[in-house]
Structure 1
Amino acid sequence: MNIYPDTTWSHLLAGQKHYFNTSENRNAFALGDALAELLLLLDPTLQRPRVIICIGTDRSTGDSLGPLVGTQLQPLASAYYHIYGTVHDPIHATNLEERYRAIQAAHPDGLIIAVDASLGGADQVGHATIGLGGLRPGAGVKKDLPSIGDLHITGIVNVGGFMEFMVLQNTRLSIVMQLAELISRGIMYGYYRAARRLPLIPHPLTALSTLEPLSP
């Protein structure tokens, strides 16, 4: 019996993204369910190498989300994902293009999941998002960076719109740590669900009700 795709996440297949609040522990499993849906959409047999690129730098509290996720995943998920970007070996605005070319050369058929911090509205802070398509990393960085990934996961660490570089520097570490925990657990659970073709368990959706279309 083919249980995918599941209509619970049909809006993701339509090019929208979903929000998951860190205040609900079960949302790590809900994020994993959504990731499983997208993994099987892009790679129904799970034969492509799964590559996670965690973007950011430990020199900025708000922008350290990606490296923290990569560091948490590296000892646990290396059997299931190729993981790039950690606190000890970050991928950031300065080295992103060079590192991305090397990763693409190493995994020419890789299914790339980009993870990065982002800024949003006041009611969105502390939420993780997932969606199809790449993201352009480097909030507040005056550099034309390439779009990264076949799908993306972001964590909204602070409010955007003004002096974003300074906002990232003055972000609370507790918010970043909560988001890193949610995202890393969701990524682990996502592969578990996809690999075993388990029926998706309905979860109360405590995320934001507004779904935002992805940018082209």
Structure 2
Amino acid sequence: MNLKKGLFERRPEPFRVLHQEEGAAQELSVQLSSMLPTYYRTRPIVFICIGTDRSTGDSLGPLVGTLIEEQDIKPFHVYGTLDDPIHAVNLEEKLKEIASKHINPFIIGVDACLGRLKSVGAIQLSEGPLRPGAGVNKELPEVGEIHLTGIVNVSGFMEFFVLQNTRLNLVMKMARTIAEAIVLAGHSVERRNAVSIEKWREELQQ
């Protein structure tokens, strides 16, 4: 038993890109697709987009969910949209519902967060579960194997007020970048899955 490794090993630094950078969605999609399982038929890939449209800053998740759902990306299952949001009140119930529908899903959490002034507008892709509500001192269940977060405003003071007074223009632009990256990653996973199946068939015929 390697206690030292367990105690001191840190997760890799999150991948970060500014939403307005040229090629931001493409860069994010490459990183995201590399972290997703290839065989989505045996391990469903589920995006859980957390937030509410009652707060501008907190609407990033359901905006992303809605934009992905409209694209109908074959490998992915999406929960948390403007029509059917997932938020602090119903999160536990929704997680149970998702667990009942999918066997051993690979879950990606998507949420807004607050950060430093210079980081506002950045999108982060990180290993490990999302901890929704942490920025506003709420204890909620952890979500996912990996997670995507968008830094929509500045942390440190009156977080609820800050979220409610975040510019929708920024949130919408970030949501579009994240959704585009997810759509591109979906196409990549589909291609990778098709190639893997073809190789498997060739091996069977040998």
When normalised by structure 1's length, the TM-score is: 0.80
Aligned CA-pair RMSD: 1.8
Residue 36 of structure 1 contacts residue 190 of structure 1 at CA under 8 Å; is this kept in 2?
yes
The higher radius of gyration belongs to: 2
Residue from 94, 119, 127 that aligns with 1:124: 119
Residue from 14, 19, 36 that aligns with 1:22: 19
Residue 140 of structure 1 contacts residue 163 of structure 1 at CA under 8 Å; is this kept in 2?
no
Q: Unmatched 5+ residue regions in structure 1?
A: 1-12, 198-216
Q: For residue 180 of structure 1, give the secondary structure of its aligned residue in structure 2.
A: helix
1:138 and 2:133 are equivalent in the alignment: yes
CA distance in 1, matches of 2:176, 2:127: 21
AA paired with 1:187? I
Alignment partner, residue 47 of structure 2: 52
Larger relative helix fraction = 2
Alignment partner, residue 8 of structure 1: none
Residue from 173, 179, 201 that aligns with 1:178: 173
Alignment partner, residue 164 of structure 1: 159
Q: For residue 78 of structure 2, give the secondary structure of its aligned residue in structure 1.
A: strand
Deviation of 1:78 (Å): 4.3
Q: For residue 152 of structure 1, give the secondary structure of its aligned residue in structure 2.
A: strand
Aligned pairs (5 A) from 1:1-216: 15-39=12-36, 43-46=37-40, 47-197=42-192
Q: For residue 170 of structure 2, give the secondary structure of its aligned residue in structure 1.
A: helix
Tell me: CA distance 1:74–1:167, structure 2 relative to 1, closer, same or farther (3 Å).
same
Q: Unmatched 5+ residue regions in structure 2?
A: 1-9, 193-206
Q: For residue 25 of structure 1, give the secondary structure of its aligned residue in structure 2.
A: coil
CA distance in 1, matches of 2:127, 2:75: 20
AA paired with 1:60? S
Deviation of 1:110 (Å): 0.7
User: What is the identity percentage for the equivalent residue pairs of Structure 1 and Structure 2?
Assistant: 49
Deviation of 1:18 (Å): 1.2
Deviation of 1:132 (Å): 1.1
Q: For residue 110 of structure 2, give the secondary structure of its aligned residue in structure 1.
A: strand
Equivalent pairs, count: 183
